[in-house]
Structure 1
Amino acid sequence: MTMIKSIVPPSTSIGRENSTPTLPTVLAGPRRTLPPGYIHLGVAKEIAPTLRDFGIDPDPVIREAGLDPSLFDDGTNIIPHAALGRLLTLSVARTNCPHFGLLAGKRATILSLGIVGRLMQHSETVGDAMRALVSNLSIQNRGAVPSLTISGDTALFTFSVYQPEAESADQISDGSLAVAVNALRALCGSEWSPTEVLLPRAAPADQEPYRRHFRAPVRFNQESASIVFPAQGLNLHVAGSDPMVRALLEERIQQLKGAQGSEFSDDIRRLLRTRLTSNHCSADDIAQLLAMHRRTLSRRLKDGGMGYRAIANEIRFEIARQLLTDTQVPLAQIAAALGYSEASAFTRAFRRWSGQTPTTWREEGHRG
């Protein structure tokens, strides 16, 4: 396996929690934009110290995942999202800890989210902060996508892996929700807790680590990785936010987003991953969301070498694979979530994608 070294030169630290950063430090974000399938280390930087907590030298494990251990000296370095999955798979095996991702995520803070975390700290309200995370995480993570939905008096923050055949999607989800709760506690106060937490993974034998960190009921075998909390909390003012710093951070982030280039098919994948389990994901729906004609959407995707239907099926396969591998959600429920009127139609589609029935895939996935 080829060792992946630093892809971007180390940039100025975004700041340390125990120090007061200067304005240039606050604004020091990534120097280059991310290609699809890559992430800034950020939260993943905590994997190394978590391994050390188990008495394991992280460097050999990191090398076995195909990464250069020196990357972990700086959270702004970038790695392939697939390498993160491999590293988590190896970490779970080495530690024999099924909730390793949770442990790594709970070590991370709002500052682990880099310049986006800084913007959250300087947002006017908690709702503004969460919307800033949803809107801008793509400059730091092109392997997963967050979303925020409001239903009546309930808010739902969801984190979804969308890279094809991502290893350890369950560990990534655990860690992502763990740091999201830490970020919300940084904004709302250390006593804040969600109403409940939903995880797309089979229930572990020991659920206490989850209850201890989230301080809320945790429901396993769910279709999504979500934090549920009262929507009224979104109206809370963020203490210590600075409008001038916020404006400068927003300007810097827009510069980075503007330089990301035309990875249009990846943008569509991100949109579909958050909407495919709803009734608003047809090509016409997506075109309307992007304020473009349906034919323009088709043309731009065709220029990139893929059609809308192929991308949608790729995302359906990825969602199905994650749920079949990591959860015990019944086939009929997975089929309904993906928009199939009956399980037999889902089974036929899944066989086309994989050459296997969903049941066989699930059995082999558990053995693997």
Structure 2
Amino acid sequence: MKQVDGTEYLAAGEGQHPSQLAQTTEAPNGRTLPPGYTHLGVSKEIVPTLRELGADPEPLIREVGLDPRLFDDGVSVIPFAALGRLYTLCVAHTGCSHFGLLVGQRATILSLGLVGRLMQHSATVGGALRALVSNLSVQDRAVVPSLTSRDGTALLTIATHQAESRSVEPILDAALGVTVNLLRTLCGPDWNPREVLVPRVAPADQAPYRRHFRAPVRFNQESASVVFPVGDLERRVAGADPLLRVMLEERIRHMKGGPGCEFSNDIRRLLRTRLTSNHCSADNMAHLFTMHRRTLSRRLKDGGMNYRGITNEIRFEIARQLLEDTMVPLGEIAAALGYSEASAFTRAFRRWSGQTPTAWRAEGHPG
């Protein structure tokens, strides 16, 4: 577990090659998930949510190439590209723009498997959230959480990792929905955040968000974040068992300790949560991994990658999401991605896509 400035934690991401997994089995040998795959976890709630909205889940699940029987168990392992397509299809089929939120609000801390149980037995809320950030990759590789604090305010932020742009909206809605449930489990059912930030255009009907979050909801934001007083991190978790916590930590540590690490994938996951801050240089990344910058560069080179190339991949990913799902002005997107001027961002985006950001937004914006 890495700690930086007392507030931000590295989510590890080691595992086996995707070809070693069958879609109907749990990750083999108790190892953490490989890149491209995720346990169903929270998304197991897709089926009851569809039924509640009067839709038959089986044809939709089969349309994206999955077996409906997978949804009988939250530990089923599936490609999250297929899961992303399913979320998109569910929104289109039901006409419910907040479908992801409905999924997330059904989920509980136990939807996170071992990680959820570890959170329940952490001594404090802060310890539970640090356990989530450090270990979620053993349960879910589709989203990446990070925890920051400043001036008396804490933010638990969720980013998507390699999700299809059209599926980002419902996936983040689901993640925010369950995140508030997690905090209410840890802090008590009457707990409410100060506010919730949502990186999507404000829907016509905002009432479902206000009902679930019981707090101000700000749309068109650069990140998906739950904002709350930093003092909440010191709250004790009722019923936590220290011995069970140690056992769960050891089991998760064993799962994360195997061979076959995907170092460049770890860098991508970490960049996805930090690229819009000022702490994402190669030197910062090397510090987080407790290695020299030259060692970081050498390990990436061994995998045929370089730091700048990975950084630009993630910049393009974030830019697409903000252009398609929000109305954040180009100047603010440029600044968030580390460009001093919007013109520099425009030139870079044209190199990546062959189009200007304005043209991309005009073609791809859902509204």
TM-score, normalization: structure 1? 0.91
Matched with 1:328 is 327
Indicate whether 1:7 and 2:23 are aligned.
Answer: yes
What displacement does 1:259 show? 2.1
Assess, with a 3 A threshold, how the Cα gap between structure 1 residues 9 and 79 changes in structure 2: closer, same or farther: closer
What displacement does 1:244 show? 0.8
Q: Deviations over 1:320-343 (max 9, x none)?
A: 000001000000000000000000
Indicate whether 1:363 and 2:349 are aligned.
Answer: no
Note the aligned Cα RMSD (angstroms): 1.6
**Identity level (%):** 71
C-alpha distance in structure 1 between counterparts of 2:24 and 2:338, whole Å: 41
Matched with 1:77 is 76
Matched with 2:8 is none
Aligned partner of residue 46 in structure 1, secondary structure? helix
C-alpha distance in structure 1 between counterparts of 2:266 and 2:300, whole Å: 10
What displacement does 1:31 show? 2.9
Matched with 1:55 is 54
Q: Deviations over 1:127-170 (max 9, x none)?
A: 10000000000111222210000102100000001216443111
1:57-206 matched pairs, under 5 angstroms: 57-163=56-162, 165-206=164-205
Counterpart contact for 1:156–1:226, Cα < 8 Å:
yes
Matched with 1:218 is 217
Counterpart contact for 2:198–2:220, Cα < 8 Å:
yes
Aligned partner of residue 365 in structure 2, secondary structure? helix
Counterpart contact for 2:87–2:100, Cα < 8 Å:
yes
C-alpha distance in structure 2 between counterparts of 1:30 and 1:224, whole Å: 35
Matched with 1:26 is none
Counterpart contact for 1:6–1:68, Cα < 8 Å:
no
Counterpart contact for 1:36–1:143, Cα < 8 Å:
no
Structure 2: gaps spanning 5 or more residues? 1-20
C-alpha distance in structure 2 between counterparts of 1:114 and 1:219, whole Å: 30
Structure 1 stretch 229-238 or stretch 251-260: which is displaced more? Answer: 251-260
Counterpart contact for 1:33–1:260, Cα < 8 Å:
no
Assess, with a 3 A threshold, how the Cα gap between structure 1 residues 164 and 91 changes in structure 2: closer, same or farther: closer
What displacement does 1:33 show? 2.4
Matched with 1:278 is 277
C-alpha distance in structure 1 between counterparts of 2:187 and 2:29, whole Å: 27
Letter in 1 for 2:318: I
C-alpha distance in structure 2 between counterparts of 1:249 and 1:52, whole Å: 35
Matched with 1:349 is 348
C-alpha distance in structure 2 between counterparts of 1:182 and 1:165, whole Å: 25
Letter in 1 for 2:25: P
Following TM superposition, the consecutive aligned residue runs of length 4 or more in structure 1 with deviations greater than 6 angstroms are none
Aligned partner of residue 209 in structure 2, secondary structure? helix
Assess, with a 3 A threshold, how the Cα gap between structure 1 residues 80 and 10 changes in structure 2: closer, same or farther: closer
TM-score, normalization: structure 2? 0.92
What displacement does 1:10 show? 5.3
Aligned partner of residue 156 in structure 2, secondary structure? strand
Counterpart contact for 1:158–1:224, Cα < 8 Å:
yes
Q: Deviations over 1:110-130 (max 9, x none)?
A: 000110000000000011000
C-alpha distance in structure 2 between counterparts of 1:214 and 1:367, whole Å: 24
C-alpha distance in structure 2 between counterparts of 1:294 and 1:217, whole Å: 42
Aligned partner of residue 197 in structure 1, secondary structure? strand
Q: Deviations over 1:276-321 (max 9, x none)?
A: 1111111122112211111111111111121111100000000000
Counterpart contact for 1:165–1:318, Cα < 8 Å:
no
Structure 1: gaps spanning 5 or more residues? 12-28
User: Which one scores higher on RCO, CA 8 angstroms, separation ≥ 6?
Assistant: 2
What displacement does 1:367 show? 5.4
Matched with 2:42 is 43
What displacement does 1:262 show? 1.4
What displacement does 1:217 show? 0.2
What displacement does 1:37 show? 1.9
Matched with 2:15 is none
C-alpha distance in structure 2 between counterparts of 1:327 and 1:286, whole Å: 29
C-alpha distance in structure 2 between counterparts of 1:257 and 1:225, whole Å: 27
C-alpha distance in structure 2 between counterparts of 1:242 and 1:321, whole Å: 44
Assess, with a 3 A threshold, how the Cα gap between structure 1 residues 149 and 207 changes in structure 2: closer, same or farther: same
Counterpart contact for 1:145–1:159, Cα < 8 Å:
yes
Letter in 2 for 1:297: L
What displacement does 1:260 show? 6.0
Letter in 2 for 1:324: L
Structure 1 stretch 256-265 or stretch 151-160: which is displaced more? Answer: 256-265
C-alpha distance in structure 2 between counterparts of 1:57 and 1:128, whole Å: 40
Assess, with a 3 A threshold, how the Cα gap between structure 1 residues 180 and 202 changes in structure 2: closer, same or farther: same
Assess, with a 3 A threshold, how the Cα gap between structure 1 residues 212 and 164 changes in structure 2: closer, same or farther: closer
Aligned partner of residue 196 in structure 2, secondary structure? strand
